[in-house]
Amino acid sequence: MNRNPLWKILLVLGVIVVGALIALPNVFGKDPAIQVSREDGEAMESLEQDAVENVLRGGDLSWASLYADDGRVIIRFATVDEQFLARDRLREELQQGYVVASTLASRTPAWLRDAGLEPMSLGLDLRGGVHFLFEVDVDAAVAQRLDAYANDFSKLLREERIRRSVDISNGAVRVRVPDAADLDRAEALIREADADLDVSRRLDGDAGVLTLKMTENQIRERRDFAIQQNTITLRNRVNELGVAEPVVQRQGLDRIVVQLPGVQDPGEAERILGATATLEFRLVCDGEDASQAELRGRAPLGCELFYDRLGSPVLLKRRLIVSGDQLIDASSGFSEGQPAVNVTLDSKGARSMLETTKANLNKPMGVLFVEQKRDVVEKDGELVEVPREEKEVINVATIRGVFSKNFQITGLTVLEARDLSLLLRAGALAAPIFKVEERTIGPSLGQENIDKGMLAIQIGLGTVMIFMLFYYRAFGLFADLALITNLVLVVALLSMLQAALTLPGIAGIVLTVGMAVDANVLIFERIREELRNGNSPQASIHAGYEKALSTIADANITTLIAAVVLFVFGTGPIKGFAVTLSLGIVTSMFTAIIGTRTLANAVYGGRTLERLPI
């Protein structure tokens, strides 16, 4: 009785060995490091890696190691001062097109890295992460609103058959009506559309001119909306990046702080968070010669001149069919073997797309990629940042059928399709943002709190192990070994899943220690009861594990359900607690039941026993 089948012994040994191997990278710790990656997301080539090394050598800088990792170059340093010196040197010397970011790199040996093993991520309250400070261009948000007013009012007057010309000048929308007799009707329509606008009128010969200005309250509300919307959008983008327990919050009048605990790819994070990319769908100016427009230096009336990726000129109509803020979902995939983005529009965008495709069958339509950037220029002897907008036609296709809500965008690389779908899915920014600060930050709660958290685990674990050893003797030793194995397996799962460990997560581990022991206490007390009832030691061991199993399973399953609910509906620290608690419940079921029984069977199984040391 109580003999271990071979498969169970191999299972337990295999889980312990694999778990220990996966958890092993956590032993080596991390160093301050620099990560160099390409802005376009492509992998760094060996020549580029050599160029990075030459820059460091030329600056007389020392480093611990330099290696390629997943298309990026990682340089580890012994101190933070050396890290900052190297970062500044690389940013000065490397050409444009590279992202140089501060990070933390594990000291894990190469053979473990080659096997794909890495240490678990730690939250900002334990180890730090990447800190970004973004500035929101609130004036651009106001300008965007004026553009929207100009387009809406032009469309409104066109539908009412009122001749007009609409432009924007000095922070106001100017509507010129050639026939002054239509001025009253035009003013009434505009006031009805938006009663809060400050509308003034004047006569200019036979024509009438309406000047539309946003009130101070409207400007303030628009700026606040831009900050709030950008905060939500950045939070969505962080979620798409898969960063656990991020901090995204407003700071001051026009800035947003983003903290990414345990982030492993600051280059990608910066590219995704700082991007203000969106799309515009417009009809191509059919029948117009784009090359002639390029030579003249101006586009025909109602058209705008852009360029595609090959540098060829393309004329698109000024009127938008659909803009990026009307997209509600986007996913990357493949269409006929080519990378594509599958797009879903909201009801307003779908209606506009349906009307356009119905009226323009067999005519070309272009997709315009719009991105906001900022250049540093010298002005009056000082370096200032000037916003710049880049627009590029990424796709021109002939409308072959009528479509509205769902369609595809092609003409992209795999990386561009992935990033574009992420940006569109996370939402468009209400105004351009620009990074003003980036740094790797230390623990937000201080080293003292970290030490106290680890001390809590050590004291809790040590106390429980001593109690179990003295109270249950040999079986208590089995429980202690299971506890240690349980902690190793939790660390292994956190490493494998790359779930960030935080101080609340440590609390979850402490609770797991108690719950794992609780299962063993139920089993051991059941064995004692069987012995008191006169059963043999072998029968008592068997009955103790069999009869306590249902009680243990019920208690752990109900706790697991509660932990899952906390994870689904909780935020911040609650999620960190729920993650470690859930993983701890799963591992404790294995170690407390299967693990200790395997040990008990190995030591006492198949023997004739007079008594049990329990």
Query: What would the DSSP string read from start to end of 21-87?
Result: HHHGGGGT-EEEEEEEEETT-PPPPHHHHHHHHHHHHHTT---SEEEEETTEEEEE-SSHHHHHHHH
Query: Residues 6 or more apart from 334 whose CB is under 8 A from it?
Result: 340
Q: Domain extents for the chain? A: 6-23+446-604, 30-106, 139-218, 221-440
Q: What is the pLDDT of residue 306?
A: 92
Place of tokens 């106390």: 463
Q: Tell me the C-alpha distance between 330 and 424, whole Å.
A: 6
509 burial type by CB count under 10 A (0-12 exposed, 13-18 middle, 19+ buried): buried
Distances 330 to 96, 232, 372, 609 between C-alpha atoms, Å: 30, 18, 20, 68
Superfamily of domain 6-23+446-604: Multidrug efflux transporter AcrB transmembrane domain (1.20.1640.10)
Place of tokens 């399953």: 557
Going by C-alpha positions, the residue among 138, 196, 146 that lies closest to residue 170 is: 146
Mean pLDDT in each 10-residue stretch from start to end of the chain (614 residues)? 79 90 86 78 81 84 83 85 84 75 78 83 71 84 82 83 84 86 85 84 82 87 82 73 67 84 63 67 88 88 87 89 75 80 82 88 85 69 72 83 79 72 64 76 59 80 88 88 90 85 83 82 87 85 84 86 86 79 89 86 77 80
| Domain 221-440 fold | Gyrase A; domain 2 (3.30.1360)
Superfamily of domain 30-106: ACT domain (3.30.70.260)
Chain centroid to CA 93? 30
Same fold for the pair 30-106 and 139-218: no
| Domain 139-218 fold | Gyrase A; domain 2 (3.30.1360)
Cross-strand bridge partners of residue 33: 76, 103
Widest Cα–Cα separation across the chain = 117
Going by C-alpha positions, the residue among 609, 446, 438 that lies closest to residue 540 is: 609
